[in-house]
Amino acid sequence: MERRTFIGACVGNLVIARSDVKAQATAKSYRVGFLTYTTPEQSAALLSQFTEGLRELGYVGGRKIIIEPHYGDGRQNRLPELAAEVVRSRVDIILTGSNPLAAAAKRATATIPIVMVGTLDPVGAGLVASLARPGANVTGLCVDASAEMSGKLLALLTEIVPGLSHVGVLQQVGFPDRQLEASARRLNVELYVVDVRTIDELESAFAAMLRKRVGALIIRGSLFYVARQQVADLALQHRLPAIHGLKEYAQAGLLMTYGADLADLYRRAAGYVDRIVKGAKPGDLPVEQPTKFDLVINLSTAKALGLAIPQSLLLRADEVVR
């Protein structure tokens, strides 16, 4: 059996239901379209957390949920096409990820409930009217607990890199951050920002930052998730201490990460689906912020870069990759 067919079948057959035979006989099935531009393998762990969240909820009332994935295989330019495909499939709910994904889903439908997971500043991005009352058909969970998150990433870099004065910011187009600029002024650090539209621009982006002699790197945006191994390799190749908000980057070889636990957010997303199935309107469900954060340090990368990680920072780490 072909790899994609096998994985799709496994996910598609993952039905959460009460074991009561009579209830199953009369149950309504709810179809959740999972919209992502990653590959099946790259999405498997997060999707597994979502289904685990459904299991933890019981699933009640004799209802069952069938998950229908729509993969972009790493090509973000396919988002409009994929979002339209999900809408045409007439799913009951759309589960999706970061800002570009949520925006594509919102443009594709104003009626199907959308549960977004892992967005940055969804109010500022125009995805919802407010965190407390999202309005329209979009709700879910964001990854930034406060406007200071990017500033914390910068502060962590200054703890590790002595005398850091120039920091590169590799970011996806459309992710401006005024708070980061304010933090840089406070820490007396000059930022050099490079906006990237596609993964193909990564090597030229690194070359541009090297010409500016940056001493470290902050990575922002969801575009790089599918290429996190390449990003980590390029950072090490160019001897740049680098930080991101998701621990999967440190596990791939980036020096350090600090931010929300994305797996935990996907598990919590099951609660939104549960409430919508029971009749709640997505616009009435407040957007939740992270409650769990991870500091992950890759010691192997630190040694390769010749950096000594302060013991105080190691003691604060939730995970150390060796």
Q: What is the pLDDT of residues 157-166, one digit of tens each?
A: 999 998 999 9
Locate 78 and state its tokens.
């396919």
8-state DSSP, 162 = T
Locate 17 and state its tokens.
């239901």
Q: Within the chain, where are the H helices?
A: 3-12, 21-26, 40-57, 79-88, 99-108, 149-160, 178-186, 202-211, 228-237, 247-252, 262-277, 299-305, 311-316
φ, ψ for residue 61 (rounded to 5)? 75, 10
- pLDDT band at 147; cut points 50, 70, 90: low
Q: What is the pTM of this model?
A: 0.84
| Residue 235 CB partners (closer than 8 Å, separation 6+) | 206, 217, 241, 242, 253, 254, 255
Q: What is the pLDDT of residues 42-73, one digit of tens each?
A: 899 999 999 999 989 976 544 689 999 999 98
Give CA–CA dist 245/191, Å, rounded.
Answer: 18
Q: What is the pLDDT of residues 254-292, one digit of tens each?
A: 999 999 999 999 999 999 999 999 999 999 999 999 988
List of domains in the chain: 3-145+261-284 (3.40.50.2300), 149-260+293-321 (3.40.50.2300)
